[in-house]
Amino acid sequence: SYELSQPPSVSVSPGQTASITCSGDKLGDKYVSWYQQKPGQSPVLVIYQDTKRPSGIPERFSGSNSGNTATLTISGTQGMDEADYNCQAWDNSIGVFGTGTKVTVL
């Protein structure tokens, strides 16, 4: 079965850039979406179709996808960005989520 791997945790200082990777076989051939989840809350879409931001998502969130790796970048990270982040893709019409990354803003 298809798998998406993410680092368990990423730490970042306020105002700095956080990069969260999502790795999978030929992931660049698929569309990736990213979801932010804060404790006790439902996931929220922050990036879709690799690079697009939904309405209401700050410009500091951006995405890329090439080769075997998709990356979610948070520029000028703020304390409110502390959360779990999950990537997601479809493989032969089967939904697959990444293992999840906890972003800590120190």
Binding-site ranges for other proteins (CB under 8 A): 1, 31, 33, 35, 42-45, 48-49, 54, 86, 88, 90, 93-100
Of 35 and 61, CB closest to other proteins = 35
Of 58 and 76, CB closest to other proteins = 58
Which residue has tokens 């979801």?
35
Question: In the complex, what is the shortest distance from the CB of residue 10 to other proteins, in angstroms, rounded to a whole number?
Answer: 15
Return the amino acid letter for 34.
W
Question: In the complex, what is the shortest distance from the CB of residue 57 to other proteins, in angstroms, rounded to a whole number?
Answer: 11
Of 77 and 86, CB closest to other proteins = 86
Q: In terms of Cα–Cα distance, which of 27, 15, 18 is closest to 7?
A: 18
Backbone angles phi, psi at 27, to 5 degrees: -60, -30
CA 18 to chain centre: 11
Which residue has tokens 């703020």?
78
CA quadruple 102, 69, 63, 44: dihedral sign: negative
Question: In the complex, what is the shortest distance from the CB of residue 45 to other proteins, in angstroms, rounded to a whole number?
Answer: 5
Of 15 and 52, CB closest to other proteins = 52
